[in-house]
Amino acid sequence: MRKPLILSLAALIASCSGDDGPPPAPEGARLVFPQQNSECTTGIDVNNGLSHVTFEWSPSKHTDRYTLSVVNLLTNVPQTLSTVNTSASLSIAKGTPFSWSVISRNNRSEQLASSETWLFYNAGKQTTYAPFPAQVVGPGSGSTVQRNLAGQVVLAWEGVDVDNDIANFDIYFSQTNPPVDLAGTTDPLTMEFPVDVESAKVYYWRVVTRDEQGNSSDSGVFEFRVF
């Protein structure tokens, strides 16, 4: 007759132990402003070279604080700011392309959640803008990949322009860094290019995006190794 009592006591102790499992991981925030692939014209002048821009995002679940990251795409230099709010302001260069994203953090969890990464131009004096630097799709920089049956790897990227007037993409590819050999040119709707590769070799590539106004942007160098 004592066995049910023992089981009941064990269940009571377990229920009072306070062990509710691991804390919930934060969820990624949804970006609001500056909008994706846009020109930001709302900045407040700081001086001839800088304006103060306010970034906004929606609150994410299980999040105690956020880290805003804004990267100058011409220099690849990031600016970061930590806040408990869903907006934050930074002084950034005028007439310059940027990417931005938000990391969500929970004080009781080591897990992080990242938002999407959006691109925008901070408005300057110019009336036309160079295309955004192409963003790698694959192979990811630093990755090791398998060549296909044709002995090739397909380079893939994303290219956008505020003015929507991309003319073409020039693809530079070689085993030297930085790559200076022009492997080919694609039209504005074609954002992948096959290249011949050999096993156990490291390759470097970059994409120069050109628009109808003669503006251009350089993606920077990506590299990958072939199995």
Residue 99, domain CATH: 2.60.40.10
Q: What residue numbers bound the domain in which 162 lies? A: 135-226
pLDDT in tens, 177-217: 999 999 999 999 999 999 999 999 999 999 999 999 999 99
Q: Are strands 143-145 and 118-122 parallel, antiparallel or unpaired?
A: unpaired
Within this chain, do residues 37 and 96 fall inside the same structural domain, yes or no? yes
pLDDT in tens, 77-133: 999 999 999 999 999 999 999 999 999 999 999 999 999 999 999 999 877 899 999
Looking at 122, 146, 175, which one is the last position of a domain?
Answer: 122
State if pTM tops 0.75. Answer: yes
Within this chain, do residues 139 and 201 fall inside the same structural domain, yes or no? yes
Average of per-residue pLDDT across 151-156: 98
Within this chain, do residues 106 and 181 fall inside the same structural domain, yes or no? no
Q: Please count the CA atoms within 13 angstroms of the CA of 109 that sit on its side-chain side.
A: 18
Please count the structural domains in the chain: 2
Within this chain, do residues 141 and 82 fall inside the same structural domain, yes or no? no
d(CA 124, CA 41): 8
- Cβ contacts of 103 within 8 Å, gap of 6 or more: 66, 67, 69, 112, 113, 114, 115
Percentage of the chain lying above the pLDDT 90 cut: 87
Within this chain, do residues 149 and 102 fall inside the same structural domain, yes or no? no
Average of per-residue pLDDT across 150-176: 97
Within this chain, do residues 66 and 140 fall inside the same structural domain, yes or no? no
d(CA 218, CA 207): 6
Within this chain, do residues 105 and 151 fall inside the same structural domain, yes or no? no
Q: At 16, which amino acid appears?
A: C
Do residues 183 and 157 lie in contact, with contact meaning Cβ atoms separated by under 8 Å? Answer: no
pLDDT value of residue 177: 97
